[in-house]
Structure formats: structure tokens, C-alpha cells
């Protein structure tokens, strides 16, 4: 059997995709079973605490929370626009019958027109998934914006938490789709760069997705300050009582000395 360079696409590309997919399935398992060990679980914990604290203040004073949501929506809008632009560009390339740019001798692997079209379609699918994810992210955060800014209304905390956490999860899904698209982009230059990128990205993502910091409980600062103030007041009261007791003891001693002098 004669070795052909086209065999690399049959070996390295599925292996790289399985490595990426297997890592994300492992990450999903950790998130569902042990969320405190993942950055996603830590972020969701912080979002729940943030929503709880923001709903404790009046609606007219929630401008900071709306600014936070607005900045996140702006970032998601930018990434959605970028994904749409890249999808349109790739769609135009697919419509072009000539793929001479990527069928040169520089690419070590299968350069058949059919496989080149498969590469384009795979990248296009990833960018379309990223686009849909970021659009849903914007939708959820806009809904959370409406709920938080609603005046004179008893808004259930669970509804706001669901919208904020759902938006964060769609944000994460959009980023993961871009990661897959980046790996598939290198497939255009051959299966070897694609496989190396898959392994490198999994190693980097494993480092970035792991969380070793214990979950913070976010105790209200106001209550802690009140407790410290009460402790200080109690301390001052005890000190004043001790000073008064010392003064009373000194007065009694002086009175006894005066009585002794009178008797003498």
C-alpha cells in the first residue's frame, strides 16, 4: 500500500475534532457535576450574587447594573457582527468556483475541490452557530435589562437570574464556536496545522477553564460595617464603664482618707 498525503486528512482531522469535542464534553460534565471547579460555574455564582444585590436597591438606583448589561450587550453585538461578516465572506468564497489559492503545493494534504468545499462549509457552520449564540445572548441580556429597570414591581429574583445566566451561557457557546472555527481555518493550510492547533487549544482552554478559587459568599458590606460599628460602640461603652468605676473607686478612697483625717 502506497502512502498518500491525502491520508493525513483522514487521520489527523477526525482526531483533532475528537480531541476538541471530548474536552468540551468533559468540561460539560464538570460544569454539571462540580461547577465550582470551572470558571463557568464560578461566573454563574457571581452573576447570581450580583442579581441578588442589584434587586435589593430601588429601580431608580440601578443605573450601574444597566451599564454592566449594556457593555456586555455591546461586546456580544460586535462579535455577532464579526461572525456575520465572516460568514458572508466564506459564503462568497463557496460560490466562487475557483479555489486556486488553497490548492497550491504549499498545502500538504488533500487539495481536491470536494474537500476544499467541505472545509468552507465547516467553517461557515461554526460562524453561523457563533452568530446565533451571540444573538441569543443579546436577547437574554436585553430581557434582563427590562426586568431590572422595571419600576414599582415585585420581580422574582429567579427570572432575572435565569435571563442573566442564560445570556452568559450563550456567550460562552458563541466563543466556543469561534474556537472551533479557528481550528478549522487552519485546516485550509493542511491537516497538520489543524491537529497542532486542536491540541494546543485544548491545553490552553483546560488551563483557562479550571477554577481553583473557592466560591466567595459575597456577604453584604453594609451588614459587616454595622457589625463592626456595634462592636466598637460596645467596646467604647465598656471602656467608659470601666473609667467610671475607677473614678468611683478613687472617690471612695478619697472619702475614706478624709474621714480618717477628721477622726484623727
Dump pLDDT digits (tens) for 209-233: 999 888 777 776 555 555 555 666 6
Judge if 226 and 184 occupy the same domain. Answer: no
> Whole-angstrom Cα distance, residue 121 to residue 118?
5
Judge if 145 and 156 occupy the same domain. Answer: yes
Percent pLDDT > 90 in the chain is 42
Average pLDDT over residues 176-204: 93
Confidence of residue 26 (pLDDT cuts 50, 70, 90): very high
Contact partners, residue 185, CB within 8 Å, separation at least 6: 123
Write out the residue range of the structural domain in which residue 261 sits.
221-264
The answer to whether residue 1 sits within a structural domain is no
Residue position matching grid coordinates 466598637: 232
DSSP 189: T
C-alpha separations of 198 from 79, 102, 186, 222 in Å = 22, 20, 10, 48
Structure confidence at residue 42 (pLDDT)? 92
Structure confidence at residue 212 (pLDDT)? 86
Judge if 190 and 261 occupy the same domain. Answer: no
pLDDT at 180 over 90: yes
> Whole-angstrom Cα distance, residue 193 to residue 253?
94
Sign, Cα dihedral of 75, 67, 50, 59? negative
Judge if 44 and 95 occupy the same domain. Answer: yes
Confidence of residue 75 (pLDDT cuts 50, 70, 90): very high
pLDDT at 151 over 90: no
pLDDT at 99 over 90: no
Q: Which stretches of the chain are DSSP H helices? A: 7-33, 39-54, 63-95, 113-148, 157-187, 191-209, 221-263
Judge if 133 and 33 occupy the same domain. Answer: yes
Contact indicator for 66, 145 with CB cutoff of 8 Å = yes
The answer to whether residue 63 sits within a structural domain is yes
- As for how many domains the chain has, the answer is 2
Q: How is residue 36 written as a grid cell?
A: 465550582
Q: Which of 54-58, 80-84, 151-155 is most confident?
A: 80-84
pLDDT at 98 over 60: no
The answer to whether residue 59 sits within a structural domain is yes
Amino acid at each position: 500500500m502506497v502512502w498518500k498525503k491525502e491520508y493525513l486528512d483522514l487521520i489527523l482531522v477526525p482526531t483533532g475534532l475528537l480531541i476538541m469535542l471530548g474536552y468540551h464534553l468533559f468540561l460539560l460534565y464538570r460544569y454539571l457535576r462540580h461547577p465550582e471547579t470551572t470558571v463557568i460555574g464560578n461566573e454563574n455564582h457571581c452573576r447570581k450574587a450580583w442579581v441578588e444585590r442589584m434587586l435589593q436597591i430601588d429601580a431608580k438606583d440601578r443605573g450601574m447594573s444597566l451599564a454592566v448589561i449594556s457593555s456586555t450587550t455591546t461586546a456580544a453585538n460586535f462579535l455577532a457582527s464579526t461572525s456575520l461578516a465572516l460568514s458572508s465572506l466564506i459564503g462568497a468564497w463557496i460560490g466562487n468556483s475557483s479555489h486556486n489559492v488553497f490548492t497550491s503545493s504549499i498545502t500538504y494534504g488533500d487539495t481536491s475541490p470536494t474537500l476544499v468545499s467541505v472545509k468552507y462549509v465547516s467553517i461557515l457552520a461554526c460562524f453561523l452557530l457563533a452568530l446565533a449564540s451571540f444573538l441569543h445572548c443579546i436577547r437574554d441580556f436585553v430581557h434582563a435589562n427590562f426586568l431590572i429597570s422595571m419600576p414599582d414591581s415585585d420581580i422574582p429574583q429567579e427570572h432575572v437570574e435565569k435571563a442573566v445566566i442564560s445570556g452568559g451561557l450563550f456567550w460562552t457557546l458563541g466563543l466556543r464556536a469561534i474556537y472551533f472555527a479557528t481550528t478549522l481555518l487552519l485546516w485550509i493550510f493542511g491537516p497538520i496545522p489543524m491537529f497542532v492547533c486542536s491540541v494546543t487549544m485544548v491545553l490552553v482552554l483546560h488551563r483557562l477553564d479550571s477554577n481553583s478559587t473557592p466560591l466567595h459568599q459575597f456577604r453584604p458590606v453594609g451588614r459587616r460595617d454595622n457589625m463592626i460599628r456595634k462592636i466598637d460602640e460596645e467596646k467604647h461603652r465598656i471602656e467608659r464603664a470601666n473609667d467610671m468605676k475607677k473614678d468611683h473607686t478613687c472617690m471612695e478612697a478619697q472619702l475614706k482618707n478624709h474621714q480618717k483625717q477628721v477622726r484623727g
